[in-house]
């Protein structure tokens, strides 16, 4: 019942802001500055049948998600190493703080010196994801039950059993929360890298072309596509993690 009510309220909020958007577009009366939601939807429907549209989605999604996966794997490895060796944590601490504090645009411009535009979104997505998931995994490791760990040491529980019974149930919930944040950051920073690097056949390139040609309808259409892709991949990835968390909890029980 609560879920149904929540969905109805969410739907009502969406309708409200669409009406506000429509009224604002009508009041301005200049498509160059603001198109209506109906016009943006019409532009999107025109893009859907075009092969180039899907090629751009595949190009950008593949690179951005590759950067995310590389960042996720690296964050787990580095977090475990930092937990195991104090000198690793000391070395990584200023680096993670630096990455979190540096503006995305600065990273993108610096990265263009080292990599080509087609690989830029991979590198930027990787760097933006790394500190978020590193911190999440560290939090999960620190939340592990100390008594269970002590018992595992006393009974000399093998490492694979220790990981499955103690570490995974502690780390996976924190890692899930980190992924929820990191996936959104990953898409925003990855597309921003494409807008600056302008690799041919990318979503960022399409956004830039729409901007310089004053095709506001395409700008809104591609922005909507980015939002949908980000939400869809987040939902899919978190669903997979939820299954992993449930499986780990079930095996622990």
All domains of the chain in start order, with CATH = 50-249 (1.10.3720.10)
Whole-angstrom Cα distance, residue 121 to residue 117?
Answer: 8
pLDDT tens digit string along 34-49? Answer: 899 999 999 999 999 9
Whole-angstrom Cα distance, residue 102 to residue 112?
Answer: 15
pLDDT tens digit string along 185-217? Answer: 999 999 999 999 989 999 999 999 999 998 999
Neighbours of 34 (CB within 10 A): 17
pLDDT score at 164: 76
Token pair for residue 176? 């899930």
Which of the pair, 8 or 164, is modelled with greater confidence?
A: 8
Q: Rounded to an integer, what is the distance from CA 220 to the centroid of its chain?
A: 20
What value does the mean pLDDT of the chain take? 88
Whole-angstrom Cα distance, residue 202 to residue 61?
Answer: 9
Whole-angstrom Cα distance, residue 12 to residue 8?
Answer: 6
pLDDT tens digit string along 171-185? Answer: 888 898 899 889 989
Q: For residues 201 and 59, is the Cβ–Cβ distance under 8 A? A: yes
User: Residues 76, 81, 84, 89: is their CA dihedral positive or negative?
Assistant: negative
Whether residue 224 has pLDDT greater than 90:
yes
pLDDT score at 250: 61
pLDDT category, 73, cuts 50, 70, 90?
A: very high
* H helices present in the chain, as ranges: 2-28, 37-47, 51-84, 86-101, 104-111, 117-142, 146-154, 159-162, 168-197, 203-212, 216-252
> Judging by beta carbons within 10 Å of its beta carbon (0-12, 13-18, 19+), is residue 202 exposed, middle or buried?
buried
pLDDT score at 229: 92
pLDDT score at 106: 87
């Amino acid at each position: 019942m609560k879920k149904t009510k929540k969905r109805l309220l969410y739907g009502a909020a969406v309708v409200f802001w669409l009406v506000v958007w429509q009224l604002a577009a009508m009041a301005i009366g200049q498509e160059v500055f603001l198109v209506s939601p109906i016009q943006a939807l019409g532009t999107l429907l025109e893009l859907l049948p075009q092969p180039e549209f899907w090629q751009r989605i595949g190009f950008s999604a593949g690179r951005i998600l590759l950067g995310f996966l590389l960042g996720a794997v690296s964050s787990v490895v580095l977090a475990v190493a930092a937990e195991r060796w104090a000198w690793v944590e000391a070395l990584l601490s200023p680096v993670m703080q630096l990455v979190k504090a540096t503006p995305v645009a600065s990273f993108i411009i610096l990265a263009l010196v080292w990599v080509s535009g087609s690989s830029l979104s991979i590198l930027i997505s990787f760097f933006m994801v790394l500190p978020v998931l590193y911190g999440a995994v560290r939090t999960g490791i620190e939340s592990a039950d100390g008594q269970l760990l002590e018992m595992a040491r006393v009974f000399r529980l093998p490492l694979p059993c220790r990981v499955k019974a103690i570490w995974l149930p502690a780390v996976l919930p924190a890692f899930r929360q980190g992924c929820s944040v990191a996936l959104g950051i990953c898409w925003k920073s990855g597309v921003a890298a494409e807008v600056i690097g302008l690799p041919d056949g990318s979503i960022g390139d399409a956004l830039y072309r729409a901007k310089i040609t004053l095709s506001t309808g395409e700008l809104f259409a591609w922005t909507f596509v980015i939002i949908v892709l980000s939400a869809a991949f987040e939902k899919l990835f978190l669903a997979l993690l939820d299954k992993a968390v449930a499986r780990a909890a079930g095996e622990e029980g």
